[in-house]
């Protein structure tokens, strides 16, 4: 029995060496230019920390990179809370969380050409921008390789105004979001 299995292994090794594997190399060579167009798990996202002053003006924008702990593309709730708390003090001022925005380009590779033919390039910003209503796990979906550097989490902080200006009104928040979008997303495109 031992001799039969040894003989089988020797024959298999011999046959595997004789197999023509040049087609694999040819496929990899031909496929190489398209690797940037496959959906892949994200290894990181840009972290944009935006600080708004009492006059609803963007005072400062800090950029950083968040490396995912695993291949899931998830920022866990505890990690998110830690990020928020660690960035609330800035320039000797104490800021509060205003809102968070997730920018995750999730377009399928097959639909990429159609998307660019039917929509204007500036819509790339608004179609994939999602306001986050609560502090919970944030899941970033797979993205086409060439868009990985555009995926972002934006955390907006503010200083509570001293006077009667209400920062939390929908109109004021929309004004701030427009400014944030113009300042961060458009400069990347």
For 60-93, the pLDDT digits (tens) are: 999 999 999 888 899 999 999 999 999 999 999 9
| Count of Cβ atoms closer than 10 Å to residue 152 Cβ | 23
Mean pLDDT (the chain, rounded): 78
Q: Are 137 and 76 in contact (CB under 8 A)?
A: yes
Beta strands in 53-162 (DSSP E): 58-67, 74-75, 89-90, 93-94, 96-103, 129-132, 138-139, 143-144, 152-158
What percent of the chain shows pLDDT beyond 70? 62
Residue 122 pLDDT: 56
What percent of the chain shows pLDDT beyond 90? 42
Q: How far apart are CA 69 and CA 75, in angstroms?
A: 8
**Residue 9 scores a pLDDT above 60:** no
pLDDT digits (tens, 9 = 90+) for 163-186: 555 555 656 666 776 776 666 555
Domain ranges for the chain, please list them. Answer: 37-188
């Amino acid at each position: 029995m031992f001799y039969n299995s040894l003989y089988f292994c020797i024959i298999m090794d011999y046959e595997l060496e004789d197999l023509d594997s040049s087609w694999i190399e040819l496929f990899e060579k031909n496929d190489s230019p398209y690797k940037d167009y496959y959906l892949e798990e994200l290894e990181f996202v840009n972290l944009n920390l935006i600080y708004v002053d009492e006059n609803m003006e963007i005072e400062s924008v800090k950029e950083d990179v968040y490396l995912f702990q695993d291949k899931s593309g998830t920022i866990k709730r505890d990690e998110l809370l830690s990020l928020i708390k660690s960035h609330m003090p800035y320039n000797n001022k104490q800021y509060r969380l205003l809102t968070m925005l997730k920018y995750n380009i999730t377009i399928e590779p097959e639909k990429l050409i159609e998307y660019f033919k039917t929509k204007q390039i500036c819509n790339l910003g608004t179609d994939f921008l999602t306001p986050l209503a609560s502090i919970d796990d944030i899941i970033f979906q797979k993205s086409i390789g060439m868009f990985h550097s555009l995926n972002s989490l934006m955390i907006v902080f503010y200083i509570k105004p001293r006077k009667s200006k209400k920062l939390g009104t929908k109109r004021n928040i929309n004004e701030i979001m427009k400014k944030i979008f113009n300042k961060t997303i458009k400069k990347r495109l």
